[in-house]
Amino acid sequence: MKFIDKLLIAGKKNKSLLCVGLDPDPQRLPIKDVLDFNKQIIDATADLVCAYKPNLAFYEAMGVKGMQILKKTVAHMPREIPVIGDAKRGDIGNTAAAYAKALFDYYKFDAVTVNPYLGYDSIEPFLNYKTRGVFILCRTSNKSAVDFQDTVDNFGMKFYESVALKAGEWNNHDNIGLVVGATYPDELKAIREMCPRMPLLIPGIGAQGGDLELTVKYGIDANKEKAVIVAARQVLYASKDQDFAQAARRAAMELRDSINRIRGL
């Protein structure tokens, strides 16, 4: 099954555009066992999400044990829920091919995030996995995104707009999506207009301050789908106590339902 089909099926079944970011910080967890924490979060929210998104940095920071936790976390996911590996990889030649092999064949992610700065040949090995999703960084949610992404070329086009156009040209297998931050709603709106059929992975609500209503309004496609709205800290750390899983469920349900109200469901 193609990633986009799996995403849409999960979204319809759970009536959800919510993606929970599984980014565990051992210093903030109410229990010591990171894998058990992840499992409890997944079990508590699996009927409320369209996807999960573990960020590899949080697991790499724990060394070999962390990478083992990541693999076991992915294995624990319900088979019908897509998993997006937030790796932001970007390299060329055999290195890019090795990254793609690791993320898709070893960790078994349904989709990954990639950095387009090195151009097409840095992304091609990922795209060759035709049933997997590839989310290209386009307009990221951080404050310093303006340093490069707002740079204007000789034709008056901003860099992030060029990325969006190139993504459309490269989308021969219909497996490309774009990462667009909720913290830049005007840019989100412009990118959705440029790429009306692509899935958009949208971080930045909650702790980063993105406006949920504008995110939903500008991020969804004509069918009120294909916006993958990410929440991590506000779900994972909804409680610092032993009721963290129940609190995570309540936070996820509130977000899911708020998103649905905004999209008129």
Over residues 215-230, the pLDDT tens digits come to 999 999 999 999 999 9
Element (H, E) at 133: strand 133-139
Measured between alpha carbons, how far is 79 from 65 in angstroms, rounded to an integer?
Answer: 24
Instruction: Determine contact, residues 112/96, Cβ cutoff 8 Å.
Output: no
- At 152-196, the pLDDT tens digits run 887 788 999 999 999 999 999 999 999 999 999 999 999 999 999
**What span, in angstroms and rounded, lies between the C-alpha atoms of 111 and 94?**
20
pLDDT classification of 261: cutoffs 50, 70, 90:
very high
Q: Residue 66's domain is classified under what CATH number? A: 3.20.20.70
Residue 105 per-residue DSSP state: I
Catalytic residue among 2, 15, 39, 88: 88
Q: Give how many domains the chain has, as a whole number.
A: 1
Give the mean pLDDT of the chain.
95
**What pLDDT does residue 142 have?**
85
Domain that holds residue 39: 3-262
The residue among 210 and 10 whose pLDDT is bigger is 10
Residue 26 has pLDDT above 90, yes or no: yes
Collect all residues with Cβ–Cβ distance below 8 Å to 86 and sequence separation of at least 6: 21, 53, 54, 55, 56, 112, 113
- Which residues does residue 180 pair with via DSSP β-bridges, in sequence order? 139
The CA distance from 231 to 67, in Å, is 22
Residue 12 is among the residues annotated as catalytic for this protein: no
